Amino acid sequence: MIETAGLSKAYGNLQAVSGLSLQVQRGEIYGFLGANGAGKTTTMRMLMGMLVPSAGSARIAGLNCQAQRVEVKRLVGYLPDAPLFYDYLRGHELLTFVAQMHGLAGPAARARAATLLGELGLAEA
């Protein structure tokens, strides 16, 4: 279900993740434990296609976490411990931005945001 092979991420001279290879089978529960700075969040961000690895590869359900990141996000829920919201964006702008980040083109992203805001009774807000 989750497979990494030599997954690494470097920031200049700092090696955040180094050669991580693992396999998590369907039905297994797996957790990342470690001190701050151990690479847990960096690994999760690479698995979600949010960070490009410096080396190696990552797959979820057979999908390449980089090349097929939109499809991966359709299968996996990810809630970071400190979600990032852009305070300068209005609700419809934020929804449009997130839709575009997930692969919808501008007009389709705006339409989807408008639909969701209408369904939630937030169109006027």
* pLDDT tens digits along 51-65: 999 999 999 999 999
Distance CA 57, CA 20 (A): 9
pLDDT of residue 108: 93
Give the per-residue SS3 of the chain. CEEEEEEEEEECCEEEEEEEEEEECCCCCCCCCCCCCCCHHHHHHHHCCCCCCCEEEEEECCEECCCCHHHHHHHCCCCCCCCCCCCCCCHHHHHHHHHHHCCCCHHHHHHHHHHHHHHCCCCCC
pLDDT in tens, 26-50: 999 999 999 999 999 999 999 999 8
Per-residue confidence (pLDDT) for residue 45, from 0 to 100: 92
Q: What is the pLDDT of residue 83?
A: 66
Name residue 23's beta-bridge partners. 3
Q: Residue 104 pLDDT more than 80?
A: yes
Residue 79 confidence class, pLDDT cut points 50, 70, 90 = confident
Residue 48 in tokens: 């979600």
Pairing of strands 2-11, 14-24: antiparallel
pTM above 0.75, yes or no: no
CB atoms within 10 A of CB 99: 19
Q: Is the pLDDT of residue 86 over 80?
A: no
